[in-house]
Amino acid sequence: LLIFLVECLSFVLPTYNAFGRNARSNKQEGCELSLSQTQSPESLLIHWKGEIMEGYSFHFRHAEFKGALEAIAGKKLDLEYTNAVTFSAKEHISDSHRHYYDNAIQFVTGIDNPQHAIEAAQRCSLVHSIYRVIATGDNYTDCTEYAIENGGFADMYLGSKSQEDTWCVRVRQYGNLGAQVNRTSAKVKRHGERARSMQEEKKALLALEPLLLKFGGRVDLNNPDCFVYFFNGMNSKNT
């Protein structure tokens, strides 16, 4: 699964890929964050914070986020979480470490207003970041075409409300591509390799050209208004 994600809210077949935008980093209040009606139920991803001590906060994650979300929405909600990553490296790790790895990033459904989810995440101490899933597919080109079709970045097009938003593109590897074990310390990377892959980012930028040419804002590699993420190697919620 290749997921196209944008920051504000694995790429080797047969894994799934996602493309999107992070929902916590948009600095301009006027940025439009509503989801297109053509998007799949896999509309939001939550990346949970790690733990200082094993089991210290794990069991409070869902309760904290749900409580904050219901307080903002003013009603009870029935949320469903599905793991977005799976530890599949050959190295042996304990069952508890595997469990924490597999639950590090989750799809969440049952949210009818994504803006409420963004506000709830900002109130939570256990949420690292939340992402809007703009498109999913088997390669960068497919994700780009789907993103243009569903208008997930239309607010950033030249002449649109957020046309001056700055942006940059990042690629993250998960699953078989991201899970690594430090052989000297026996520590496990919980949710993928965070080091930038320049080769993969070049591939993504070439595929993204038809979309990026529509943007009105400039590139800002240090402090952009919008991080555009490709998450490679994630699970499909429907598999």
Q: Give the residue ranges of DSSP H helices in the chain.
A: 61-73, 95-102, 114-123, 140-150, 198-212
pLDDT at 30 over 60: no
Measured in whole angstroms, the distance separating CA 196 from the mean position of its chain's CA atoms is 16
Bridge partners (DSSP) of residue 221 are: none
pLDDT at 67 over 70: yes
**Can you give the pLDDT at residue 136?**
85
**Can you give the pLDDT at residue 141?**
92
Task: Pick the more confident residue, 38 or 104.
Answer: 104
Query: Residues 208, 158, 162, 45: what is their CA dihedral angle, to the nearest 10 degrees?
Result: -20
Residues 6+ apart with CB under 8 A from 52: none
Q: d(Cα 121, Cα 198) in Å, to the nearest integer?
A: 30
**Can you give the pLDDT at residue 205?**
92
CA distances in angstroms from 89 to 74, 101, 106, 183, listed in the order given: 43, 12, 19, 13
Average pLDDT, the chain: 75
**Can you give the pLDDT at residue 236?**
63
Q: d(Cα 143, Cα 18) in Å, to the nearest integer?
A: 7
pLDDT-derived band at 70 (thresholds 50, 70, 90) equals very high
What is the phi/psi pair of residue 222, to 5°? -100, -45
Residues 6+ apart with CB under 8 A from 28: 162, 165, 225
Q: What does the pLDDT look like over 186-215, one tens digit per residue?
A: 444 444 444 557 888 899 999 999 999 999
Q: What does the pLDDT look like over 139-178, one tens digit per residue?
A: 889 989 999 998 989 999 999 999 999 999 988 877 554 4
**Can you give the pLDDT at residue 62?**
95
